[in-house]
Structure 1
Amino acid sequence: MIDRRGALQGLAAGAALLAAPALAAPPPVRKGPRLKAGDVVGLIEPAGFSDDVYRLDYVSETIRAMGLVPRPAAHLGQKYGYLAGEDRARAADVNAMFADREVKAVFAVRGGWGCARILPWLDFATIRANPKLLIGYSDITALHMAFAARAGFPTIHGPNASSAWGKSSWEPFRAIAFDAATPTYANPPSLDDRLVPRQWRTRTIKGGKAQGRLLGGNLTVLTALMGTPYLPDFRDAILFIEDTNEAEYRIDRMLTQLSLGGILGKLKGVVFGQCTECVNTGAGYGNFTLSEVLQQHLEPLGIPAFEGAMFGHIANQFSLPVGAMAELDADAATIRVLEPAVA
């Protein structure tokens, strides 16, 4: 119930609302172009460096195999400590790729660490004015989140340019980026030779369906952005998270941070992907399992949630359109994209 100081004030307020013109609908989200054969795409290293020059040759061959034309960033291949060049140089490469009208999408070669360091140097006015797909995962989460907060167009949490790009990676990416498709993602059947398959299993934490904007990525990178202006509003969103080489207590700590920071309480649904090598080998009998940690944090939210989806630090993974509307079905363990990520 809305609090009013008096009946006259309430009547006056109501009259004012009736007299006011209807609010205009929010403008539609601008989206980058769908890719087609022969398109030029940018290659950037916004975080860690590639320690093998031949790896970059392999990356270019991979892009050509997609039918695209690679355009290496000006500072690609540089090294500055464990970073692929100094912060301003890596940021300049991102800015240049989004300013270049010939470049139709931007692939991150790899992750590592360092994307958050370049956020203050990004030209978000130029980026916002030139929507195009940004593709990558792991540390690229910092860019996905910053773009969702400051640029407002969908990006793709999917394989980096140097990833394996097997059939299970390439076909979902092509559907999203080339065909403007709206696929439903479900883990493939297990190839285990067992009566009860164990590979690619999912587990429903809380059943039900939910719709919302897909937001998320690497849990460690996402939580490190809390308290900064580069994290989007998670109200009514579907959070997807994954991680690698983090012990169960660290996952617990980060989920606790998301809870205390008010993010988990805003969500419509949660999908936890793969957590590669997320085991504290020295914990002993008293350790919580990862599933127990997820249960403790997600079940009390009372929203649909499941774990085990195929995204994260694995050879083949879904291409999830960050910022696009999607439907989560926690009982079926599926993610259905509801709108194209490209124009």
Structure 2
Amino acid sequence: MIIPEKLKRGDEIRIIAPSRSASILSVEGVQIAKEKLENLGFVVSFGKHVFDKDLQHSTSIQQRVEDLHEAFRDENVKGILTVIGGFNSNELLPYINYEIIKENPKIFCGYSDITAIGTAISTQSGLVTYSGPHFSSFQMKKAQEYQTHFFTQCLMQGAPFELKPSEQWSDDAWYLDQENRIFEKTEWKTYNGGIASGELWGGNLCTLNLLQGTKYMPSIENAILFVEDDDMTIPETFARDLTSLLQNTDSIKALIIGRFQRASKITEEQLLFILDKHPMLKEIPVLYNVDFGHTQPMFTFPIGGEIQVDASKCLLKLVRF
């Protein structure tokens, strides 16, 4: 896998919208996020069609692909952040020129629906991409320190490091009320102990599963899987989606599950019931309630990178990213 050059102060970050557009963000929110990135030392620029919108608060395939290609072609751009997630980034996959990306490797970061396009870029160009904050995520005030710390550690330096639990987490609508937030103590949990190391694949589970049966789906044989889902899932659909993914392989090395949103109703009891169905998960390291996905804050991790897992000690270490 190709590891893109790390970001440094003074670098230009291009904001693009391969899923929903920035039209759903407030003017104030855009300014806050832009200033946060500028305070980290970056120059922020926007794709041509980022603020356009159609009936579903996105833009045409052609417009989104144009902004993606231009971001990779532009020699001044060193990193690319997606505005936000959505539902339709997989529409772009057949129309992307992956040779452009391969010839101009650079950091590409986002999560949720961006799992589809980030994974496709990794499988088709061999470029490591990143599951981490969107541009819009930098609007958030409280819990931003943890999120920004691991964003910069993953994308601005290359020495191996441990991903550590946050002190507290939240599942409230922070984008509606930045001040009156409810936080709880964080606790990563072990379903099954053990140590493993290997290539990391995953992200948003239902989005990743959209790639099954296509050339964009990665081989997850002997991989370490990271999966999470949002408030639109329920125990039954998560169980079905997880089963579908696990049936893509005879063997994985470890499974790491991001923390669930309250609205999903996936309680600890429900999750353990689901995991107990799969004999293979009793033979490998499995962690859950980990800091990635649709609760806050989140860390950043590499799609196609390498990681070490010690589930007994709840330790995760990025090795090659």
Normalised by the length of structure 1, the TM-score is 0.82
C-alpha change, 1:274 and 1:84, in structure 2 (3 Å) is same
Q: Offset at 1:94?
A: 0.8
Whole-Å Cα distance in 1 between the matches of residues 261 and 132 of structure 2?
A: 16
Residue in structure 2 matching 1:96, options 70, 73, 80: 70
Contact 1:275 1:313 in 2 (8 A): yes
Whole-Å Cα distance in 2 between the matches of residues 110 and 45 of structure 1?
A: 7
Contact 1:298 1:305 in 2 (8 A): no
Tell whether 2:223 aligns with 1:242.
Answer: no
Residue in structure 1 matching 2:238, options 251, 256, 272: 251
The residue aligned with 1:87 is 61
The residue aligned with 1:135 is 109
Residue in structure 2 matching 1:277, options 245, 254, 262: 262
Alignment coverage as a number of residue pairs:
301
Cα deviation per residue 1:242-281 (whole Å; 9 max; x = unaligned)? 1111110010110121133x23x33111100111135349
Q: Offset at 1:296?
A: 2.3
Q: Offset at 1:68?
A: 0.5
Cα deviation per residue 1:163-211 (whole Å; 9 max; x = unaligned)? 127110111111111122321112134599xxxxx73222212210111
Residue in structure 2 matching 1:184, options 154, 157, 162: 162
Whole-Å Cα distance in 1 between the matches of residues 68 and 217 of structure 2?
A: 19
The residue aligned with 2:176 is none
C-alpha change, 1:108 and 1:191, in structure 2 (3 Å) is closer
Whole-Å Cα distance in 1 between the matches of residues 131 and 253 of structure 2?
A: 20
The residue aligned with 2:212 is 226
Tell whether 2:16 aligns with 1:44.
Answer: yes
Which structure has the bigger radius of gyration? 1
Query: Counterpart amino acid of 1:172?
Result: F
Cα deviation per residue 1:131-155 (whole Å; 9 max; x = unaligned)? 1111111111012210221111211
Whole-Å Cα distance in 2 between the matches of residues 308 and 174 of structure 1?
A: 22
C-alpha change, 1:83 and 1:127, in structure 2 (3 Å) is farther
Q: CA RMSD in A?
A: 2.3
Query: Unmatched 5+ residue regions in structure 2?
Result: 171-183
Whole-Å Cα distance in 1 between the matches of residues 242 and 169 of structure 2?
A: 32
C-alpha change, 1:298 and 1:222, in structure 2 (3 Å) is farther
Q: How does 1:146-157 map to 2 (within 5 A)?
A: 146-157=120-131
The residue aligned with 1:7 is none
Query: Counterpart amino acid of 1:75?
Result: H
Contact 1:32 1:130 in 2 (8 A): no
The residue aligned with 2:274 is 293
Query: Counterpart amino acid of 2:187?
Result: R
The residue aligned with 1:34 is 6
Contact 1:32 1:132 in 2 (8 A): yes
Contact 1:138 1:312 in 2 (8 A): yes
SS for the counterpart of 2:275 is: helix
Tell whether 2:91 aligns with 1:117.
Answer: yes
Query: Counterpart amino acid of 1:186?
Result: K
C-alpha change, 1:189 and 1:62, in structure 2 (3 Å) is closer
Residue in structure 1 matching 2:151, options 173, 178, 181: 173
C-alpha change, 1:191 and 1:39, in structure 2 (3 Å) is closer
Q: Offset at 1:297?
A: 3.1
Normalised by the length of structure 2, the TM-score is 0.87
Contact 1:269 1:305 in 2 (8 A): yes
Contact 1:255 1:297 in 2 (8 A): no
Q: Offset at 1:109?
A: 1.2
SS for the counterpart of 1:106 is: strand
Whole-Å Cα distance in 1 between the matches of residues 83 and 265 of structure 2?
A: 30
SS for the counterpart of 1:147 is: helix
The residue aligned with 1:316 is 297
Whole-Å Cα distance in 2 between the matches of residues 321 and 161 of structure 1?
A: 17
SS for the counterpart of 1:289 is: helix
SS for the counterpart of 2:290 is: coil
Whole-Å Cα distance in 2 between the matches of residues 52 and 153 of structure 1?
A: 29
Cα deviation per residue 1:198-247 (whole Å; 9 max; x = unaligned)? 73222212210111111100011011111111111112210001111111
Contact 1:111 1:140 in 2 (8 A): yes
Contact 2:166 2:297 in 1 (8 A): no
